[in-house]
Amino acid sequence: MTKILDIAPLRSLVAVADCGGFQRAADHLHLSQGAVSQHVRRLEGAVGTKLVEKHGRGSRFTAGGERLVGHARQILAAHDDTLRAFAVEEVPQITIGSTEHAAAQLLPALAAALDAAGSRFRFRIDRGTRLREGLAAGSVDLALMLNTNDPDALVVGDLDLAWYSSPTWAPPVAPAPVPVVAFDSPCTLRSRALETLAAHGVPAVIGAEAIQLAGVQAAVGAGLGVALMATLGQTPEGLVRRDDLPTPEPIRLHVCSRPGLPTEAAEATAAALRPLLAVRSMA
């Protein structure tokens, strides 16, 4: 038998059932919604059947999903009871912060690697400024940061950037400025977008702002402008990649640690992410 039911995806499945949805399960587990969704897809691949289906504006478990939830509860109970029976020392939990840029692609792979290594972790999705404050205060142990000035940060690799728009959007006729959709300032990608256009003599203006990635993508989908994103080659649903605008330089991803954290944690995190970026860069 080659198929395996991993513990972390089973916990996500049970959390979806107990919490009443993917986002609530993600909040409960301190994961991204994308990570929970990927966990469910991994289980679907393992058991060979659809576990969740659309229902109105939401979703619901299929008959197979309901059946697996029951088995998952038994597996998790046996797993946890076994650890308690052997008085296994609890592994300290690590809080890993990340901005929303490419989090849906990076965090599931990182979660799988850390889970396989036996690490206990949770994710916090926030703005870069808030993550830096969390590192300084000790509420965040590690953070995935873009273009940081921290001399002790570990380099993971370069994230390719690309422009995205709605399928019907067309660049304005010069000299009209290109409307850019961006996160509220300060934002590394916002600065990179404006700097890239300026370096090529393309006038630009902020056409819309948002505090979350969903807001940026919604504004772009509504045709309010273009946005520069790090998506690891996965075009957001409803958008198209634009190759008729100046090509931006990649942006470097780092792992930053809070003061006093053992270096092994940051090194393990960086090592788990490097292969993913390397594969994407060769695609």
**pTM flag (> 0.85):** no
Alpha-carbon radius of gyration of the chain: 21
CB of 200 closer than 8 Å to CB of 193: no
CB under 8 Å to 157, separation ≥6 — which residues? Answer: 252, 253, 273, 274, 277, 278, 281
In whole angstroms, give the CA distance from residue 157 to residue 276: 10
User: Tell me: the pLDDT tens digits for 138-172?
Assistant: 888 889 888 788 888 889 888 889 999 999 998 88
Tokens of 237: 């649903």
**What's the confidence (pLDDT) of residue 242?**
93
Q: List residues bridging with 210 in a β-sheet.
A: 183
Q: Own/partner pairs for 38-46, CB < 8 Å, 24+ apart?
A: 38/108, 39/8, 39/9, 39/12, 39/13, 39/108, 40/9, 40/12, 40/13, 40/16, 42/6, 42/9, 43/5, 43/9, 43/10, 43/13, 43/68, 46/3, 46/4, 46/5
Fold that domain 93-158+252-282 belongs to in CATH: D-Maltodextrin-Binding Protein; domain 2 (3.40.190)
CATH (residue range 7-85): 1.10.10.10
CB under 8 Å to 72, separation ≥6 — which residues? Answer: 5, 10, 13, 14
CATH (residue range 162-249): 3.40.190.10
CB under 8 Å to 36, separation ≥6 — which residues? Answer: 12, 15, 16, 22, 25, 26, 29
CATH 1.10.10.10 domain locations along the chain: 7-85
CATH 3.40.190.10 domain locations along the chain: 93-158+252-282, 162-249
Alpha-carbon 280 to chain mean position: 15
What b/e readout covers 21-48, taking b as 16+ CB neighbours within 10 angstroms? ebeebbeebebbbbbbbbbbebbbeebe
Task: Give the pLDDT of the chain (283 residues) as one tens digit per residue.
Answer: 577 888 888 999 998 888 888 888 877 776 777 788 889 999 999 999 999 988 777 788 999 999 999 999 999 889 888 877 876 665 567 888 888 776 767 777 787 777 776 677 778 888 888 888 888 888 888 898 887 888 888 898 888 899 999 999 988 887 899 999 998 888 888 999 999 999 999 999 999 998 888 888 999 999 999 999 888 777 888 999 999 999 999 988 899 988 888 888 888 888 888 887 765 543 4
In whole angstroms, give the CA distance from residue 253 to residue 54: 35
In whole angstroms, give the CA distance from residue 64 to residue 225: 43
Coil, helix or strand for 119? coil
